[in-house]
Structure 1
Amino acid sequence: MRADVVVLGAGIVGVSIALHLQERGRRVVLVDRRGAGEETSHGNAGLIERASIVPYAFPRELTTLLRYGLNRSTEAHYHLSFLPKIAPWLLRYWRASSPRALAEASRAMLPLIELCVTEHERLMAQAGIAPMLRKTGWIKAFRSQRNLDKALAEAARAKPFGIRYDALDDAAIHAREPHLSDVIVGGIHWLDPATVPDPGGVAKGYARLFVQRGGRFLEGDARSFGVAPGGWAVDTAEGRVSAEIGVVALGPWSDVVFAPLGYRIPLAVKRGYHMHYKASGNAVLNHPVLDTDSGFVLAPMSQGIRLTTGAEFASREAPPTPVQLDRAEPLAREIFPLSERADREPWLGNRPCLPDMRPVIGPAPKHPGLWFAFGHNHHGFTLGPVTGRLVGEMMDGQAPCADPYWFRADRF
């Protein structure tokens, strides 16, 4: 089987790239070992994060570092045996989180962040799933007035970038979320982000659109991907597929392809968990709510109220250790009336991250016809469609929507 492009990975980034390249007239084959959106793209909080102009940086406050170091936090957890392996990466992450480097990362990411909602909106309309888009923002909630005041001072820095938000006192936040408990004293309602009740369903909707437009979506093993006459090839359930161009969009598994090809890109994984709950009585959650002081998100989803945890540093293949979920659940019950668990087991996913908080997007420097698109650092769902647009523009030699210099693979 011959195509113009083979895209490895059917998460939100991969399916978005496949759609954009298909729209530009290329014959595209999309390959994954599972269905669309069934890995990292499935388990997030459903945010299209138009307000996150500053990436998630390594903490620099001594009290936060001590809390993380004691390994008793809901925001972060680590496997002691994994620390020697992840320590060099964490050091690079810490260095890249200096004020100057963080400002640089923010400038680099801003054009993508600015387009994230409109690019999703366009694809969702084409896929016939526009009603899933909720343009109601999300709420950052606080248990402490001191922490709220500090966050409001930081939020004011976003105004020059056109980011809108409402400062919520005790009365205002409970007017917007009547079933939050009095433990919450106020919050910040970010108005520009959008949300969806089923992020995995959005990825599946995009994949359906790709197939309806004549694309091929095949089951295959990325480990079989490699150089072939005229380009690249990969084994699938329907035979070997060859193409002039190969795109690696495998998220946390991208190293399965790039490492054997000789690329030393510092891709790491932050694991995370979620669990769904029924709401007690007639309780309703209207927006995703981040309990900022405790480090977890409650989000209204099609499956119930989804509790998502912070980052776990552990081997990608290590057995699940949902310590953060067990710590967060009683704290979540303090702020919202959750009933019983709706899932048999906690879901475990992997977030692909790079230490400078920017993805790799662009051509592989040592192999003509090979492209990379991975490492979106908590924002894969947010940036999937705009990443597809950027890849398409770069391949066609058009003016890109963001400066590709910041995302090149050889920057490390």
Structure 2
Amino acid sequence: MKTDILVLGAGIVGVSAAIHLLDRGRSVILADRGEPGGGTSYGNAGLIERSSVIPYAFPRQLGAIAKYALNGSSDVRYDPAYLPRIATWLARYWWHSSRTNLEKATRALLPLIEASVSEHDKLITRAGASELIRERGWVSFYKNPRRFEAARAEAESLSAHGLAIRILDGSEFLALEPAFAAAGSRISGGVHWLDPKTVTDPQALTAAYATLFATAGGQIVRADASALREEKNGWSITTAEGEIIEAGEIVVALGPQSGLIFRKLGYPLPLAIKRGYHRHYAQREGQPLGHSVVDEEAGYVLAPMARGIRLTTGIEFAAPDAPPNTIQLRRDEAHARALLPLGEPVEATPWLGLRPCLPDMRPVIGPAPRHRGLWFNFGHAHHGLTLGPASGRLLAEQMAGNDTFADPKPFHPHRFL
């Protein structure tokens, strides 16, 4: 079987790139060893995060660093045995989080963030997936009055980016989300971000995009990316059924597993993993959660989804293949239960996922310098769902030789080589 382009990875990033390439008249095969959306794209907070114009940076304040060093926080946890393995990467992350470097990352990502909702909207319409989308925005809330006032000032400063926001005092937050009635005066206020959209089933959305791709003429196959071979005039891979696929170009969109390819081909890209967990809880009858909400002080998200209320944790630094450690999830659940009535867990075992991250807080989107026909599109950290369609468009525009809607240079892999 021959094709112009082979896309490795059927998460939201790979599926979106495959659609954009197909739209530009290329023959495209999408390969994954599992179902579309079954990996990292399954386990997220379901936010199409138009309001996240500033990347998640490493804390620079000594007080915050000292707090995390004690390893008792619910938003960030680390395995002490893993720190020596990731110390160099953390140092680079800290360096890139300086004010100057953070502004640089913000400017680079802004066109993709601004296009995130509109690019999703196009695919949602074509895929007939509007029933998976809620257009209510999301709400961050604060218990500490000083944290709330600081958040108010920061949110208002972002109005220059054209964001629609509504500042809520404590009573307005409770009126919007009466499920928090038991919290009473402990909620100082919140920020209602109106531009983002939320997804009730992220895996189903990715699967709907994959169906759109297949209906439009693309092909989806089961294959292990580690079996990729470089050929004289391109690339080849053998599917699970034993069929050989030959392609002139490939796109590596394997998220946290992208190192299977780029390391084998000699590219020392500093991709690291932030682990995260989620678990679904039943909604109490008569006390529904109407919006996705973020406890900014404890660092978790509560999102109403098809299976119940999904509680998504913050960051865990631990070996990607280490056994799950549910202490962070237990801490978050305790915080949440103190504020609203959560039902019983829906699944017996929490989900553990891997977020692929680069130290400068930007994904790698562009051509590999030393291999013809090799393209990268991974490292979207916390924003794979948000940026999948926009980054797919940026990649496809480069591969087709078109003018690009955003400057691709800040995302090229050569910045690390």
TM superposition score category, shorter chain reference: over 0.9
Query: Which of 201, 205, 216 is equivalent to 1:202?
Result: 205
Q: How many residues in Structure 1 have an aligned counterpart in Structure 2?
A: 412
What is the DSSP-based 3-state SS (H/G/I as helix, E as strand, rest coil) of the residue aligned with 1:72? Answer: coil
Give yes or no for contact 1:15–1:30 (8 Å, CA) kept in 2. Answer: yes
Residues 335-374 of structure 1 mapped to structure 2, 5 A cutoff? 335-374=339-378
Aligned to 1:254: 258
Shift of 1:226: 2.3
Alpha-carbon offset, residue 229 of structure 1: 3.0
Q: Write the mapping of 1:32-111 to structure 2, written as runs, cut at 5 A.
A: 32-111=32-111
Matched to 1:120, the amino acid is: H
SS at match of 1:379: helix
* More moved, 302-311 vs 59-68: 59-68
Alpha-carbon distance in structure 2 between the residues aligned to 1:196 and 1:184: 26
Q: Secondary structure at 2:82's aligned position in 1?
A: helix
Q: What are the equivalent positions in structure 2 for 1:151-190 lying under 5 Å apart?
A: 151-180=151-180, 181-182=183-184, 183-190=186-193
C-alpha displacement at 1:280, in angstroms?
A: 2.2
Amino acid of the residue matched to residue 286 of structure 1? G
Which residue is 2:249 aligned to? Answer: 245
Unaligned runs of at least 5 residues, structure 2: none
Instruction: Give the match's secondary structure for 1:179.
Output: helix
1:274-311 per-residue CA deviation (whole Å, 9 max, x = no partner) reads 01001223111111100011111100000000000011
Using the alignment, how far apart are the partners of 2:322 and 2:64 within structure 1?
Answer: 26
Give the distance between the partners of 2:149 and 2:61, measured in 1 at CA. 17
Deviation at 1:185, TM superposition (A): 2.1
Letter in 1 for 2:269: I
Deviations 1:128-185 (A, max 9, x none): 1123222211000111111000111111221111111111001111111111132322
Q: Which amino acid aligns with 1:166?
A: R
Of stretches 346-355 and 131-140 in structure 1, the one that deviates more from structure 2 is 131-140
**What amino acid is the match of 1:230?**
N
Equivalent residue number for residue 149 of structure 1 = 149
Contact kept in structure 2, 1:121 and 1:133, CA below 8 Å: no
Q: CA deviation at 1:102?
A: 0.4
The one-character-per-residue Cα deviations of 1:309-362 (angstroms, maximum 9, x if unpaired) are 011111111111121001111111112210111111000000000000000000
Instruction: Quote the residue 2:128 is aligned against.
Output: 128
**d(CA) in 2 for partners of 1:64 and 1:321?**
23
Instruction: State whether structure 2 residue 390 is matched by structure 1 residue 386.
Output: yes
Residues 5 and 27, structure 1, Cα contact 8 Å, conserved in 2: yes
Secondary structure of residue in 2 paired with 1:378: helix
Distance in 2 separating the partners of 1:280 and 1:135: 23
Corresponding residue for residue 307 of structure 1: 311
Q: 1:280 to 1:131 in 2, by over 3 A?
A: closer
CA distance in structure 2 between the aligned counterparts of 1:94 and 1:65, rounded to whole angstroms: 11
Which residue identity does 1:272 align to in structure 2? G
Q: CA offsets per residue over residues 34-67 of structure 1, 9 Å max, x none?
A: 0000111001010000001100000112222112
TM-score normalized with structure 1 length: 0.99
Aligned to 1:410: 414
> For the residues of structure 2 that align with 1:371 and 1:95, how far apart are their CA atoms?
27
* AA partner of residue 249 (structure 1): A
Which sections of structure 1, spanning at least 5 residues, go unmatched? none
The Cα of 1:253 is off from its aligned counterpart by 0.5
Give secondary structure in 1 for the equivalent of 2:337.
helix
Letter paired with 2:105: A
- Single out whichever of 231-240 and 354-363 deviates more from structure 2: 231-240
- In structure 2, what is the Cα distance between the partners aligned to 1:407 and 1:226? 25
Alpha-carbon distance between aligned partners in 1 of 2:266 and 2:342, rounded to the nearest angstrom:
49
The amino acid that maps onto 2:206 is: A
Deviations 1:353-373 (A, max 9, x none): 000000000010110100000
Secondary structure, aligned partner of 2:195: coil
Is 1:273 paired with 2:274? no
Distance 1:135 1:398 in 2: 32
2:330 maps to 326
What's the TM-score once normalised by structure 2's chain length? Answer: 0.97
Counterpart secondary structure, 1:173 = helix
What is the aligned partner in structure 2 of residue 12 from structure 1?
A: 12
SS at match of 1:66: helix
Q: Which amino acid aligns with 2:37?
A: G
Which residue is equivalent to 1:218?
A: 221
Distance 1:279 1:202 in 2: 22
Q: Is contact 1:77-1:324 (8 Å) kept?
A: yes
Work out whether 1:264 is the aligned partner of 2:262. no
